């Protein structure tokens, strides 16, 4: 069965520091991959997506993610975080059908 694992429930980073949020998936085929962000009391918004091609994809607000087929991973990165990046980040995959499979989310806390 397909699954998505975000091993870190909470990540704390100092403002201006770099960031990596981890995501690993299990799927019988290479799925489509997504990162969504949820700000407090808001719905989820798409950050970036990967379908094929260049394994590094760029998203909004300076975020990027790198797909690794060999590691079944899709980690999210940002070179320099801002306090406004505080949110919950969700990784999701769709194994080429209608349905998204979600990770449990990583809460990002930015220290001043």
Partner 1 sequence: EAAVTQSPRSKVAVTGGKVTLSCHQTNNHDYMYWYRQDTGHGLRLIHYSYVADSTEKGDIPDGYKASRPSQENFSLILELASLSQTAVYFCASSDGRTNTEVFFGKGTRLTVV
Residue 9 within binding range of partner 1, rule CB under 8 A: yes
Residue 32 within binding range of partner 1, rule CB under 8 A: yes
**Residue pair 91/9 in contact by the 8 Å Cβ criterion:** no
Residue 40 within binding range of partner 1, rule CB under 8 A: no
**One residue of 43, 54, 69, 70 binding partner 1 per CB under 8 A:** 43
Query: Alpha-carbon torsion 85, 39, 49, 6, what sign?
Result: positive
Instruction: Return the number of other C-beta atoms located less than 10 Å from residue 49's C-beta.
Output: 16
Helices and strands per DSSP (H, E), number in the chain: 0, 12
Binders in 87-106 for partner 1, by CB under 8 A: 90, 92, 94, 96-100, 102-105
Residue 51 within binding range of partner 1, rule CB under 8 A: yes
**Phi, then psi, of 85 in degrees rounded to 5:** -80, -5
The footprint of partner 1 (CB under 8 A) covers 4, 6, 9, 32, 41-46, 49, 51, 90, 92, 94, 96-100, 102-105
């Amino acid at each position: 069965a397909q699954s998505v694992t975000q091993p870190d429930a909470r990540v704390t980073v100092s403002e201006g520091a770099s960031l990596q949020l981890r995501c690993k998936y299990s799927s019988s085929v290479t799925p489509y991959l997504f990162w969504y962000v949820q700000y407090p009391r808001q719905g989820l918004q798409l950050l970036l997506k990967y379908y094929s091609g260049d394994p590094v994809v760029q998203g909004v607000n300076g975020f990027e993610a790198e797909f690794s087929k060999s590691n079944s991973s899709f980690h999210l990165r940002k070179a320099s975080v801002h306090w406004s990046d505080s949110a919950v980040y969700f990784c999701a995959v769709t194994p080429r059908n209608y349905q998204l499979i979600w990770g449990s989310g990583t809460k990002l806390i930015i220290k001043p």
